[in-house]
A and B are shown apart, each in its own frame.
Chain A
Amino acid sequence: MATDKVSVEQRDRVTIRFAGDSGDGIQLTGSQFTHTSAIAGNDLATFPDFPAEIRAPAGTLAGVSGFQIHFASSSVFTHGDTPDVLVAMNPAALKANLSDLKRGGVLIVNTHPFNAKNLERAGFDGNPLEGDELSAYKVYPIDITTMTLNAIADVGLNQRSATRSKNFFALGLIYWLFNRDMVHTERWIEEKFQRRDPQVAEANRKALKAGYFFGETAGIFTHSYVVEAAEIPAGRYRNITGNEALGLGLMAAAELSGLELFLGSYPITPASDLLHFLSKQKHFGVKTYQAEDEIAAVCAALGASFAGGLGVTSTSGPGMALKAEAIGLAAMMELPMVICNIQRGGPSTGLPTKTEQSDLLQVLFGRNGECPLPVVAAQSPSDCFWTAIEATRIALRHMTPVLLLSDGYLANGAEPWLIPQMSTLAPIAKSFHKPQLNEAGEPIPFLPYERDENLGRPWAIPGTAGLEHRLGGLEKEHRTGNVSYDPDNHQFMVELRAEKVERITRFIPPLEISGAQSGEALFVSWGGTFGSVRAATNNLNLQGREVGHIHLRHINPLPLGLEEALSSYDRVIVPELNMGQLNMILRARFLIDTIPLTKVKGKPFQVSELEAFFERVTTPVSPEKLINQGAQS
């Protein structure tokens, strides 16, 4: 039997990319493989890459949808630099993804759509399956479409519907290749389709099995692979995307503080999924409000905060620009609020579905007047949960709007998450101000801009008799909150509001440095680049290089001790998916000659890029080279 010849190979880690037309069910295939791998105990990370157009013309490069999963028997920090396996469902998918495939990697191609028309659409001169163009890879040309149609012929679907099951054939084949259990996907098909359309359920089930059995019996594969379970902390896990984690984190923060959650939002990629997620949670008392525009959305959140709720607004870069004036008002009114910016490629409409970290300076400085505000950033999909809680904690403790940064990569990427227990999370203190009486039992006049030790002011909500007061965007007189044009008062209040933000440092946990505590170089990163930078640091440490890594959750204010840490290394490298924004801040703040590593390609850093950059900046330049350079200039 053919199966006897297949040898099973152990691998520590594997990266697979599924790619096809946006109508080919690629995201679904990827998420099913992810779920099955998670249940098998792998550590993993995923990244979907879909086109900006909802229905780009079939067969074109613009319409290619991809899903990448990196799974391993040890720690996973990123979705993987270069795939070991590429599944290409049509010529365009092959064209768009081939250059990423590792040399010697496995290439599974659905040959069915490789006709003259589709090849031309994808920009191929001839058929790449026929020449030696693909000789660097292990190519498996399989007519997945025809085999799917044959396998499900007796289900009775028309050809068009039947063709749709081909992604399950591909999934079944990959399950076989990695010795995976099909049962979870079979259960999922049952739940998803059985009641709605039993025929489709039957077709998908049959296609899945046909793909699996094809791998087993066709005899074209010489190897199958096993990736053992990783050692990860015990407990109950689920897969979570960044936007889901953010939604759950905001709900958890509302519960921990005893506040009602109110989200004012306007649809925008890649933040809309947060609005969708929270809109489904009405039975938890969550109020979501889809406003007429970005400005109305942030204003509604501010109104809810004034009224005593946890006001939240969510957006991406372009919406952030529109909200700026209202965020300034929130800073002036000193009301607690969380503003989530799920960053995408810019400027202007930019790259809506691609990731970037280019809004850092916008959230730090993009308001009129002197208006510093706290900024926190999430580092991984599941970390969005913890970042939402931290943002809320700061907002309520210091009575301030807080800017929370995520990005398209975190929002749509997924990872397994050890489910937290609410009972173990520290409550978030909130207090609605009560009228105060003096010793004689008479009411003390209410001072809305009186300060506590954190410089927060009282939160006096409508409905509280005796605390009627007025807030607004005009400069406030210290303590009374009355409108004031006094020059000295303005100077004082500007400094006070800055100091209030600065005092948050008292609550930021001590700085953590991963890897070497001093030496050749320090990576300083923030946001969604955490995984790549941490993986590169670990790799370099294993090679004996003295490199450390600081990942900043708090970007304003910066944690104490950062300056000292920066000066403990020969050089500081600041990798960012922008043109050097944190780098600019660090240079300005600490007068240290940090080295920017920048990239704006709409894609996350590859670990290898970071390692290569480290090599380049740490390799001493020879005297000859310097002399040559001097001669040339």
Chain B
Amino acid sequence: MTPNPLYKITPSTDPSELNKKDFQSDQDIRWCPGCGDYSILKQVQSVLPGLGIPKEDMVVVSGIGCSSRFPYYMNTFGLHTIHGRAPGVVSGIKSLRPELSVWMITGDGDSLSIGGNHLIHILRRNMDVKILLFNNRIYGLTKGQYSPTSERGKRTKSTPLGSLEEPFNPISLALASGASFVARSVDVEAKHLQETLKAAAAHKGTALVEIFQNCNIFNDGAFKEVTHRQTKADQQLVLRAGEPAIFGANKDRGLVFDSLTMSFKIAEISEVGLESIYVHNPQNKIASQLLAELGIPDFPVPLGVLYQHERPCYDQMMSEQIDYAQRLFAGVTEDQPLPSRPSMQSLLDGGDTWLVQ
């Protein structure tokens, strides 16, 4: 995307020289010791230098919550906005400046409760923004109330007898909202998280990455089955495009699709043969929707890029529509150069006017 010269104050810097340190700000990090956010910050700081994007063209925007302190720790342009509203702010940034690389940091309370409306609409519009949704299934910054991803029956400060609410599944919600890229990773799975972040960065359009993030103070162990050394092989279903959906310490189990019940089932590979195992196709939305519903206790938790299908981005279409309007007004076809914009005076003078002598 050619940037508007209006915004080019300084020459672009060379991104090939960037390293992790360039993305670390001078601010003290104030998350609780042991918080999953540290790992996520580290992986983001490791991935961004390799994207080939000048650092000054990156903007990190957050809402409110523990995760939303993130921009302060990144030495890029950054905004720490208000609760739930980061999608609105990033939509304005991208609409004006489609050439910028915009990363939105949010949490389960920020994006699924107070900002739920904004999240579904940014996904629907397909703004070219990367959204990292830190899901710890709790309100941390307000010291431990249940969140929209807390399981039903969860006992917290505001639900002493257990919550009465069914949780959101962020992946299913994103798919239903028309997201063009939906992925899931885990705070402590450094390699997988980096791989997922790179895939999100490479996607043109809104990329939603749900990151399981442990809050060791108010909801410790929320994802322990997925992260514990002894259980994770059985509880993680790492999906990769074109590869069979297999799991287990010995990679001996996998998903088969049962067309009669239109659902996935777990099968022993030794019994059904590898050729019967579902091969992950992130472009298949129906399959992705079925995969999104899988999880503990009956199934392992799907990780990786669950769905990806590129479609036009709002921000780019907005710029194209302006060019189109300019051509339309000037009566110039697409194969000819873009005409200059009409003068403001012509608009003031337009319509029905009359002369007073």
Q: What is A's interface to B at a CB cutoff of 8 Å?
A: 35, 38-39, 41, 232-239, 248, 251-252, 255, 258, 260, 262, 264, 281-285, 287, 289, 291-293, 295-309, 311, 325-326, 329, 333, 419-423, 432-435, 461-474, 482-483
Contacts and interface: CB of A to CB of B under 8 A. Distances in A.
A236 B89 contact: no
28 contacts: A235-B355, A248-B347, A282-B326, A283-B341, A289-B91, A289-B92, A293-B117, A293-B118, A295-B88, A296-B88, A296-B118, A298-B88, A300-B88, A300-B89, A302-B89, A302-B92, A304-B95, A307-B97, A421-B345, A422-B348, A423-B345, A462-B56, A463-B8, A466-B10, A470-B25, A470-B77, A471-B79, A472-B72
A252 B345 CA distance: 9
A288 B347 CA distance: 17
A303 B92 contact: yes
Interface in B1-41: 3-4, 6-13, 25, 27
Nearest to A462: B77
Interface in B291-321: 318, 321
Contacts of A461: 7, 9
Contacts of A282: 321-322, 324-326
Contact of A251 (B76, B78, B347): B347
Interface of B: 3-4, 6-13, 25, 27, 54-59, 61, 64, 71-72, 74-82, 85, 87-97, 99-100, 117-118, 121, 318, 321-322, 324-326, 328-330, 341-345, 347-349, 351-357
Contacts of A238: 351-354
A468 B71 contact: no
Given A289-B91, A329-B81, A463-B8, A283 B344 contact: no
Given A251-B344, A285-B322, A303-B95, 6 more contacts: A262-B96, A304-B93, A462-B77, A464-B9, A466-B56, A469-B77
Nearest to B8: A463
A333 B96 CA distance: 18
Contacts of A35: 352
B52 to A, nearest CB: 15
A606 to B, nearest CB: 29
A420 to B, nearest CB: 7
A444 to B, nearest CB: 14
Most-contacted residue by chain B among A284, A304, A309, A468 (CB, 10 A): A468
Contacts of A309: 92, 96
A20 B51 CA distance: 65
B91 A291 contact: yes
Nearest to B345: A422
Contacts of B348: 248, 252, 419-420, 422
A343 to B, nearest CB: 23
Nearest to A328: B82
A470 B9 contact: no
Most-contacted residue by chain B among A262, A305, A423, A464 (CB, 10 A): A464
A248 B347 CA distance: 8
Nearest to A310: B96
Contacts of B318: 287, 289
A541 B354 CA distance: 33
A235 B356 CA distance: 5
B29 to A, nearest CB: 12
B346 to A, nearest CB: 9
Contact of B92 (A258, A284, A293, A299): A299
Contact of B96 (A260, A419, A422, A465): A260
Contact of A473 (B80, B100, B356): B80
Most-contacted residue by chain A among B7, B71, B72, B92 (CB, 10 A): B92
